[in-house]
């Protein structure tokens, strides 16, 4: 099946073929016709499945086909909400790329930069806005965005937005939108996992949604080969350096549970002669962008990331993901390993598991409904005399004030140690996640946002632009 058989306009088919896409992915095959018909959608799609084009292409098609209502210069027609700055930038770039032959204007807003250029861009008129919830609310507060004529709403990675404590922000935004349902606003909700909270959000938002499911719910991406290497907690860094060196890995994304852990591990790897950078919520947006760019172009061999910072990273054909520490939230494992094996490429996800983490491992295996193969690496067999220790030390009585770079907060019910990158605290969220990139693009001009995905797309000739 081709993109034109899905009923997309010639301009969109041309843009995707210039991206090198030969045929639609399963989620695109399912979602595009349903969205083109104007239905609400509840989609269970892993990251890496092509879900962004799955909602962006029909969204652009519908806006192109339905002329802008008269007198609506400054009002927005489509809003895409994403949990993190990185994902907002990537989705915004997809909008710009797929829409490059359409006379539609798009913008990306997220925090960490001045709000003023964004205000100026919004005043000039934007059809499609990709935003993180916090900065969107800042704009709404300043009356620089008018949502009253919104035609399409997309919640991308909705599960992660709830994990990050954005539910109240989302509800505030929803309360400002025009009426829902057939003939009114079209709503599309994408999520990798489905908790009761997601279902409750979907029930309140979606009108008679068409369910779309491309991978079995809560299962890990199938193209990823998973393996556990049992090892003692104090020997993990050594084992990681050994694996990277002996297997000659050149682009490895490594997950730690805490920001300090990420810094420590990156420093340790550097000492071992392996170039490494850390990326987490305490780093400035500039430092995160630089680290990611260095990693993408191969100047840095290992990127050490916390879950929150890694959300939204899309690195083409990333071959290796390592869980230096298992996440305490089983769903995070699914998100982490979704960084590899993207768009059908083979990938490998390795977990270094010490005795303290056996309960986390059981939780993950239960969630993904499969047992992950275990392999002891010679010379790194765990010492059977070592006893398990609690992963999270009880917190001192101190309010959680995790300073974050735009996407952290304490997860309700989640544990936090002093070091864990936390999610959801109102304080921290308002302080920095409100986030605001300021890249506005007119799709025809195709300006790239600061987190450009240039490296993973072939440069296409752009006649007429």
- Select from 17-25, 71-79, 138-146, 215-223 the region that touches ligand AMP (CB under 6 A): 17-25
Spatial distance between the Cα atoms of 178 and 437, rounded to a whole number of angstroms: 26
Decide if residue 24 touches ligand AMP (CB under 6 A). yes
Closer residue to ligand AMP in complex, CB, 87/408: 87
Residues 446-465 interacting with ligand AMP (rule: CB under 6 A): 456
Rounded CA-CA distance 149/70 in Å is: 11
Radius of gyration of the chain (CA): 22
Which residue, among 8, 2, 152, has the nearest Cα to 81 in the 3D structure? 152
Draw the binding track, 296-315, toward ligand AMP (x: CB under 6 A; -: no contact): ------------------x-
Cα–Cα distance for residue pair 320/405, rounded to 1 Å: 26
SS3 311: coil
Torsion of Cα atoms, 298 then 300 then 302 then 307, to 10°: -90
Q: Strand pairing of 105-109 and 438-442?
A: antiparallel
CA–CA gap between residue 88 and residue 118 (Å, rounded): 14
Judged by CB under 6 A, which stretch of 47-55, 206-214, 329-337, 357-365 contacts ligand AMP? 47-55
Residue 36 in the binding site for ligand AMP (CB under 6 A): no
By the rule CB under 6 A, 343 interacts with ligand AMP = yes
Please choose, out of 24-32, 246-254, 355-363, 389-397, the segment that lies near ligand AMP by the rule CB under 6 A: 24-32
- Does 48 sit near ligand AMP (CB under 6 A)? yes
Q: Give the nearer residue to ligand AMP in terms of CB position, either 161 or 409.
A: 161
Q: Is 49 in the site for ligand AMP (CB under 6 A)?
A: yes
Binding ligand AMP (rule: CB under 6 A), the pick from 13, 15, 18, 21 is 21
Q: Of residues 30, 39, 52, 256, which one binds ligand AMP by CB under 6 A? A: 52
Residues 433, 136 contacting (CB under 8 angstroms): no
What's the rounded Cα separation, in Å, for the pair 49 and 386? 41
Distance of CA 394 to the CA centre of its chain: 30
Minimum gap (Å) between residue 252 Cβ and ligand AMP: 19
SS (H, E, C) 235-279: HHHHHHHHHHHHCCCCCEEEECCEHHHHHHHHHHHHHCCCCEEEE
Contacting range for ligand AMP; rule: CB under 6 A; set: 20-28, 67-75, 410-418, 421-429: 20-28
The site string for ligand AMP over 399-438 (x = CB under 6 A, - otherwise) reads: ----------------------------------------
25 belongs to the binding site for ligand AMP (CB under 6 A): yes
Of 29, 260, 342, 404, the one binding ligand AMP by CB under 6 A: 342
CA distance 208 to 418: 44
Shortest CB 85 distance to ligand AMP, Å: 15
* Whole-number Å distance between alpha carbons of 366 and 101: 46
Minimum CB–partner distance for residue 452 and ligand AMP (Å): 13
Q: Which residues pair with 347 in a beta bridge?
A: 224
* 53 belongs to the binding site for ligand AMP (CB under 6 A): yes
The single residue among 30, 47, 285, 328 that binds ligand AMP, judged by CB under 6 A, is 47
* Contact residues: ligand AMP, CB under 6 A: 21, 24-25, 28, 47-53, 314, 316, 342-343, 456
């Amino acid at each position: 099946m081709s993109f034109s058989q899905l009923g997309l306009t010639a301009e969109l088919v041309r843009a995707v073929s210039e991206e090198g896409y030969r045929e639609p992915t399963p989620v695109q095959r399912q979602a595009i016709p349903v969205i083109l018909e104007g239905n609400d959608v509840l989609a269970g799609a892993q990251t890496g499945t092509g879900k962004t084009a799955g909602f962006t292409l029909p969204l652009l098609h519908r806006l192109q086909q339905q002329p802008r209502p008269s007198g609506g210069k400054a009002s927005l027609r489509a809003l895409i909400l994403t949990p993190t700055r990185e994902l907002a930038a990537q989705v915004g770039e997809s909008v710009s790329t797929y829409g490059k032959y359409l006379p539609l204007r798009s913008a990306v807003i997220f925090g960490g930069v001045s709000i003023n250029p964004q205000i100026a861009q919004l005043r000039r008129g934007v059809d499609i806005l990709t935003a993180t919830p916090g900065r969107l609310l800042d704009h709404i507060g300043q009356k620089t965005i008018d949502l009253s004529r919104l035609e399409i709403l997309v919640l991308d990675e909705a599960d992660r937005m709830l994990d990050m404590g954005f539910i109240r922000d989302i509800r505030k935004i929803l309360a400002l939108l025009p009426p829902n349902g057939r003939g009114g606003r079209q709503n599309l909700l994408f999520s990798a996992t489905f908790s009761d909270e997601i279902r409750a959000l979907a029930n309140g938002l979606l009108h008679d949604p068409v369910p779309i499911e491309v991978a079995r719910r809560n299962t890990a991406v199938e193209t990823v080969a998973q393996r556990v290497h049992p090892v003692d907690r104090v020997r993990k860094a050594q084992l990681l350096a050994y694996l990277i060196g002996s297997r000659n890995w050149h682009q490895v994304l490594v997950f730690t549970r805490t920001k300090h852990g990420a810094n420590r591990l990156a420093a340790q790897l550097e000492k071992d002669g392996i170039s490494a950078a850390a990326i987490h919520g305490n780093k400035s947006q500039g430092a995160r962008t630089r680290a990611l760019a260095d990693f993408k172009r191969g100047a840095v061999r290992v990127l050490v990331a916390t879950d929150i910072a890694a959300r939204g990273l899309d690195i083409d054909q990333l071959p290796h993901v390592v869980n230096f520490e298992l996440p305490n939230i089983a769903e995070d494992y699914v998100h982490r390993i979704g960084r590899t094996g993207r768009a059908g490429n083979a990938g490998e996800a390795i977990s270094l598991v010490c005795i303290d983490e056996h309960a986390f491992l059981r939780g993950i295996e239960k969630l993904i409904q499969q047992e992950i193969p275990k392999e002891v690496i010679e010379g790194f067999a765990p010492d059977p005399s070592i006893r398990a220790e609690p992963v999270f030390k009880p917190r001192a009585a101190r309010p959680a004030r995790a300073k974050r770079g735009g996407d952290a907060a304490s997860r309700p019910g989640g544990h936090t140690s002093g070091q864990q990158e936390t999610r959801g605290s109102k304080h921290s969220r308002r302080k920095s996640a409100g986030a605001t990139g300021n890249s506005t693009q007119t799709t025809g001009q195709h300006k790239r946002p600061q987190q450009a995905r240039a490296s993973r797309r072939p440069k296409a000739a752009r006649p007429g632009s």
